[in-house]
A and B are shown apart, each in its own frame.
Chain A
Amino acid sequence: MTRADPFPLIRTVGLDGVLVTFADTMTEPSNRAALAFRGALHEAGWEGVVESSTSLASAYLRFDPLRLSHAEVQARLAALLAERDWYAAPLPSGRKLWRVPTVYGTDLAPQLEDAAAAAGLDVDEAVRRLAQSRVRVLTIGFAPGQPYLGPLAPEFDIPRLQQLTPMVPEGALVCAIRQLIVFAGPTPTGWRHIGQTAFRCFRPGMEWTFALNPGDEMVFEPIERAELDHIRVHNEDGTGGATVEEIEA
């Protein structure tokens, strides 16, 4: 970081919020800093705080401005920022690793070949690299429970499509700009549909409404179509055959 670098940057959000931004681009360190700093905010448990969240490279805090003044919040944030190098901070504890069975390509995910070509790879090599990629939940948004995952290796810095695909189904694995998304519901998208899972990110009515948390990690392991069909028949819990383990802090 150079001296002219304005980050980390503290800015107010509307009447009752404040945003701590660690970079103006999504990078591994800026996302790490946002997650770690938000974890510290959560642990601090300041009275008057209503909720906190992260976006790709920022942590957000909403508070009751009648109980906690903007000046006080900003002073506390500045003090917390000064405590350590947040870009090098360990990620919060309690994170999970999900291994999600995924059909790459076929008619279920018809834009795999196109994505591989955009990445300059043949299809087999693209699948091999994607299947080995352990990606982090960078942030959750656009739809409830829906993860933005990354960063993928630089060859997957492929642009979004100019023309939207009218509809991809729930559980679709899509790729663009070194990121993956597992869609929480049927949606139009400009990202390329490269795989299909039976993983449900948003499970209203079940014990865990939201499957994932920011900072969790995911691996999309290749399976055959017949296996996915089998998983779909026995998918009462919505995990789509995924396994989950704690990531040791």
Chain B
Amino acid sequence: MSLIVRRIGPACTIQDQGRAGFLDQGLSRSGAADLRALYEGAALLRQKPDLAALEMAGMGGEFEATAPLRIALTGAPMQASIDGSPVAWNASHALAKGQRLSIGAVLRGGYGYLHLGGGIATEPFLGSRSAHLAARVGRAVAVGDTLANGPDKGETGMKIAAEDRFGGGTLRVVASFQTALFDGETLARFEATEFRRGPRANRMGMQLDSDGPGFAAKGQLNILSEVISPGDIQMTGTGNPFILLPECQTTGGYPRIATVLPCDLPRAAQTPPGGAMRFRFVPLDEAVTLHAAWLKDLARLSSRVEPLVRDPHDIPDLLSYQLISGVVSAND
């Protein structure tokens, strides 16, 4: 069972939760930019959250099923249809042999996810299926590729109430080892500033813009390269912040003012160009409590899955939907 890629956006890669343990070799974890979306997909298909899915940055593609297949769609909402009939996002669906799934441009947010029942079953590299394009591990999915899935059985036609994290907002951060390189005035101004996501963004990091002066550290140019964590907010030479994402480098010489908590990284990564963001420092003990609550919430997502009733609100264009169905059934 598999999907054949007939059309594909320019930045679609296979992602799971990434590969830990190679920091020492200069290889960062990679993994899905929106980890929550992986868990939502797993809950919808009632499978493990460590399976791989297709991450689609900005634009999806067209996929043809070679056999009956379960799929789920999560993350940034995108236009989606099966053989021309619109289908709901944040939901699971059945594809019959020969049916075509079309996924268009993102409607809000940045990264949409296509999950297959049984997960995408590529050969793991160092324990993970995640591409890491910055490190030349794997490659972008291309037209003609086949996305094979693992063993699978189960239901479809389910939906999940997804957390809306696709329009920016407040990101909670903790102080890190270089925060003290910034003086109190700069830190207060950083917390009081509304940033906008800049145009430069990929899976390595996203640039933030703001009005007013930049945020420089003391002695910024003489800092020894030190370890980087995903979520670090790095200040470049001009004092412009970048939030570092799953394909960040493992060490770097630009100072980092703070680190976004893992629970708020999906919101950070999904903020679209121009989206507004603010940062709020939380004490480390509170951050650990928030992290525990987040992991608990992810583990309980399956309790939020319910049948996808064909409520008119779930169907983007009711009239065209009925018209198309009618034509299809008449020809059958």
Partner of A140, one of B25, B226, B232, B291: B25
> Are A66 and B291 neighbours in the complex by a CB distance under 8 Å?
yes
Binds A, one of B15-23, B63-71, B90-98, B309-317: B15-23
| 19 residue pairs bridging A and B, Cβ less than 8 Å apart | A13-B227, A14-B174, A14-B229, A15-B288, A16-B229, A19-B177, A26-B224, A51-B23, A51-B24, A53-B23, A53-B250, A57-B224, A58-B226, A60-B23, A65-B288, A142-B26, A142-B251, A144-B25, A209-B25
Query: Of A11, A52, A141, which is in contact with the most chain B CB atoms at under 10 Å from its CB?
Result: A141
**Contact flag A53-B24 (CB < 8 Å), given A14-B176, A142-B251:** yes
Q: A214 at interface (Cβ–Cβ under 8 A)? A: yes
**Contact flag A25-B177 (CB < 8 Å), given A142-B251, A143-B26:** no
Q: A223 at interface (Cβ–Cβ under 8 A)? A: no
> Are A12 and B284 neighbours in the complex by a CB distance under 8 Å?
yes
- Residues of B with C-beta under 8 A to A142: 26, 249-251
- Residues of A with C-beta under 8 A to B232: 14
> Are A144 and B26 neighbours in the complex by a CB distance under 8 Å?
yes
| Closest-CB distance, A21 to chain B (whole angstroms) | 8
- Residues of A with C-beta under 8 A to B23: 51, 53, 60, 62
| Closest-CB distance, B70 to chain A (whole angstroms) | 31
Q: A210 at interface (Cβ–Cβ under 8 A)? A: yes
**Contact flag A15-B25 (CB < 8 Å), given A24-B224, A141-B249:** no
- Residues of B with C-beta under 8 A to A204: 125, 136-137
Q: B287 at interface (Cβ–Cβ under 8 A)? A: yes
- Residues of A with C-beta under 8 A to B227: 13, 17, 19, 53, 55, 58, 60
> Are B24 and A54 neighbours in the complex by a CB distance under 8 Å?
yes
Tally of B interface residues using CB under 8 Å = 36
| Closest-CB distance, B251 to chain A (whole angstroms) | 4
- Residues of A with C-beta under 8 A to B26: 140-146, 184
| Closest-CB distance, B172 to chain A (whole angstroms) | 10
> Are B291 and A65 neighbours in the complex by a CB distance under 8 Å?
yes
| Closest-CB distance, A167 to chain B (whole angstroms) | 15
Closest A residue, CB atoms, query B261: A15
**Contact flag A51-B20 (CB < 8 Å), given A143-B26, A144-B27:** yes
> Are B176 and A12 neighbours in the complex by a CB distance under 8 Å?
yes
> Are A14 and B231 neighbours in the complex by a CB distance under 8 Å?
yes
> Are B135 and A144 neighbours in the complex by a CB distance under 8 Å?
yes
Partner of A55, one of B176, B225, B284, B287: B225
* A146 CA / B27 CA spacing, docked (Å): 10
**Contact flag A66-B250 (CB < 8 Å), given A14-B174, A15-B261:** no
> Are A56 and B176 neighbours in the complex by a CB distance under 8 Å?
no
Q: A238 at interface (Cβ–Cβ under 8 A)? A: no
* A204 CA / B27 CA spacing, docked (Å): 12
| Closest-CB distance, B284 to chain A (whole angstroms) | 6
> Are A19 and B288 neighbours in the complex by a CB distance under 8 Å?
no
> Are B259 and A14 neighbours in the complex by a CB distance under 8 Å?
yes
* A184 CA / B249 CA spacing, docked (Å): 14
* A139 CA / B135 CA spacing, docked (Å): 17
Closest B residue, CB atoms, query A65: B288
Docked complex: A141-156 residues within 8 A CB-CB of B: 141-146
* A139 CA / B287 CA spacing, docked (Å): 30
